[in-house]
Amino acid sequence: MAPSLLLVLGVLAYPVAWEVWVSLTDFSSHSTSAAAFVGLANYARLVTDVDFWAALLTTVLYFAVTTAAKLVLGIALALLLARPGRGRALVFLAVFLPWAYPGGVSVIGWYWLLNPPITTSYSTFMGGIKYSVDGALGTGAWAFTSVALFNIWRGSSFAAIFLLAGLNAIPTELFEYAQLETRSAWQRLHAVTLPLLRPYMALAVFLSFTTAFADLANVWMLTGGRVVFPVLGTQAYWLGIKAGRFAEGAARSLSLVPLLVLAVLLLFHWFDRREEEDRAA
């Protein structure tokens, strides 16, 4: 156990501690003096910052939308793949592909598709969609949609494979029994399959966390590095690394911590429950 703990905690402890410390100072590349301790001033500033609340809202919304879509698509694909049939192996590989394919390139594919460069033949068409979406829902809505679509595409592949593994774990007799006891396929899904899959779904949600809150590379690429719509991650990155206002960036990224802790504890409660039974036994 020691090597792993040393690796993970050792590599992460210093950066996280640094981030916390910096968020309590006025460290910035704009000032020439040494960083001074300012207490919670950076956080206090966040509370009154309209941009911050907007970004927080977008981040949570982004997480909710993508995770819900990933779960629904993942369950649908997993159910489709769970039953034997012709061509299943090939479709299985096709479903596996989005996750296996390096995200750095497939993101370019999506970028060209959804936000094409001006010079392509279909850019007028896509531009039309972009402006109608932005017009109806406000500037940045299309960027939000494209980032979410990419995230869903890649994440649902992972979720589908993961949930397929979960479906395989359920004894077939249970399904046969359910077939006798329930009236419709929907009822069966609701009463039998979903509850049995719950720990897997919770774990999948947990794993999708990182892509929503932390992995800003997709957002960065798909919006061409512009802050078209604010997510806390990109805002923090922009402030901290592009603008050199390290302290404010750090405070912004750390502001997510309470939310993350709460959500992680909740999810642990769902997918790691057997632990308690073990101890009781």
Partner 1 sequence: MRRRRAARALLLLVAALYGLFPVYYVTVQSLKTPEEDVFGNPFYVADPTFENYTELFEGDAAPVRGYVIVPHVPFAIWVFNSAIVLAATVSVTLLAGVPAAYALGRLRPPGWVWWRRALLATYVVPHTILFIPIYQLIIRLGLDDSHGALILIYTTMALPFCVWLLSAYYRHLPREIEESALVEGATPPRAFLRVVLPMSRNVLVAAGLFTLGTAANDFMLASIFLLDRHQQTVAAGLGVMDVSLEELVAVAGVNLASIPILILCAFFARGYVRGITAAMVEGA
Q: Is residue 122 a contact point for partner 1 (CB under 8 A)?
A: yes
| Binding residues for partner 1 restricted to 178-207, rule: CB under 8 A | 199-200, 206-207
Rounded to 10 deg, the angle between the 88-100 and 50-82 helix axes is 160
Q: Please identify, using beta-carbon distances, which residue of 30 and 279 lies nearer to partner 1.
A: 279
What sign for the dihedral angle of Cα 109, 110, 113, 118?
negative
CA dihedral sign, ordered 207, 208, 210, 211: positive
CB of 270 to partner 1, least distance (A): 13
Tell whether residue 147 is a contact of partner 1 (CB under 8 A).
no
Partnered with residue 25 across adjacent β-strands are: 37
In angstroms, rounded to a whole number, what is the distance separating the alpha carbons of residues 117 and 271? 44
19 binds partner 1 (CB under 8 A): yes
Q: Which is nearer to partner 1, 2 or 136 (CB)?
A: 2
Residue with tokens 């603008």: 243
Nearer to partner 1, 139 or 242 (CB): 242
Instruction: Dump strand ranges (E) for 91-217.
Output: none
Q: Kindly state whether residue 222 participates in binding partner 1, applying the rule CB under 8 A.
A: no
108 lies in the binding site for partner 1 (CB under 8 A): yes
Selected from 64, 72, 264, 266, the binder of partner 1 by CB under 8 A is 264
Q: Is 253 in the site for partner 1 (CB under 8 A)?
A: yes
Which one among 57, 97, 174, 266 touches partner 1, defined by CB under 8 A?
A: 97
Query: CB of 138: closest distance to partner 1 in angstroms?
Result: 26
| 136 vs 258 by CB, closer to partner 1 | 258
Is residue 194 within 8 A of residue 133, CB to CB? The reply is no
Q: Site residues for partner 1, window 149-178 (CB under 8 A)? A: 153, 157, 161-162, 164-166, 168-169
> Which of 40, 64, 68, 94 is in the footprint of partner 1 by CB under 8 A?
94
Interface pick for partner 1 out of 30, 279, 280, 281 (rule CB under 8 A): 279
- Tell me whether residue 113 or residue 137 sits nearer to partner 1 (CB atom): 113
**Between residues 158 and 229, which has the closer beta carbon with respect to partner 1?**
158
Which of these, 103, 67, 74, lies nearest to 165 by C-alpha position? 74
> Residue holding tokens 């959500």?
263
Listed in sequence order, the residues at least 6 apart from 196 whose beta carbon sits closer than 8 Å to its beta carbon are 166, 170, 174
Residue closer to partner 1 (CB basis): 39 or 102: 102
| Sign of CA pseudo-dihedral 223, 224, 229, 230 | positive
Which of 59, 86, 72 is CA-nearest to residue 234?
59
Amino acid residing at 275:
E
